[in-house]
């Protein structure tokens, strides 16, 4: 019976206590007719409403997370994406630097071989 907006807990609690008020409204005349033997009806209804409220307050559905947690996770994912992009750029730069070094070494080696042949 919970609404899908941010006030779902208040909606659940309102429903619980609304039903309790209805039961209480019905049980009061029954207590008047049946006598003291029917006093357990409003007492049990009150106990049930209290336990239901406690469960609604303490229990969070499995997998449910709050808006703050979603925002925090979203920020974390964004930060990780930025870090991965920076690392990819650094890796590309490192590969380019490695190719330049290899080409420089090959050129130097060729020059050394040419000098050796010339002598």
What are 33-72's pLDDT values in tens digits? Answer: 888 888 888 889 999 999 999 988 888 666 667 778 888 8
Q: For residue 60, what pLDDT is reported?
A: 66
Any idea what the Cα angle at residue 102 is, between residues 101 and 107, rounded to 5°? 100
Average pLDDT of the residues of the chain = 84
* Residues 28 and 77 grouped into a single domain: no
* Residues 60 and 71 grouped into a single domain: no
* Residues 90 and 56 grouped into a single domain: no
Tokens standing for residue 102: 């290899």
Q: What total number of domains does the chain contain?
A: 2
Instruction: Tell me if 76 sits within 8 A of 62, measured CB to CB.
Output: no
* Residues 76 and 52 grouped into a single domain: no
Q: For residue 101, what pLDDT is reported?
A: 92
Domain end (from 47, 64, 81): 64
Torsion sign (Cα): 44, 48, 54, 57: negative
What's the full length of the chain, in residues? 119
User: What predicted TM-score, i.e. pTM, was given to this entire model?
Assistant: 0.47
């Amino acid at each position: 019976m919970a609404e899908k907006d941010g006030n779902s807990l208040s909606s659940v609690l309102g429903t619980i206590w609304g039903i309790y008020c209805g039961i209480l409204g019905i049980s009061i005349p029954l207590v008047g007719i049946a006598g003291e033997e029917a006093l357990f009806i409003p007492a049990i209804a009150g106990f049930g409403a209290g336990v239901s409220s406690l469960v609604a307050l303490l229990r969070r559905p499995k997998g449910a997370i709050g808006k703050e947690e979603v925002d925090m996770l979203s920020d974390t994912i964004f930060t990780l994406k930025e870090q991965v992009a920076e690392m990819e750029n650094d890796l590309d730069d490192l590969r380019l630097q490695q190719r330049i070094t290899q080409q420089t070494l090959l050129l130097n080696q060729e020059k050394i071989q040419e000098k050796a042949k010339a002598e």
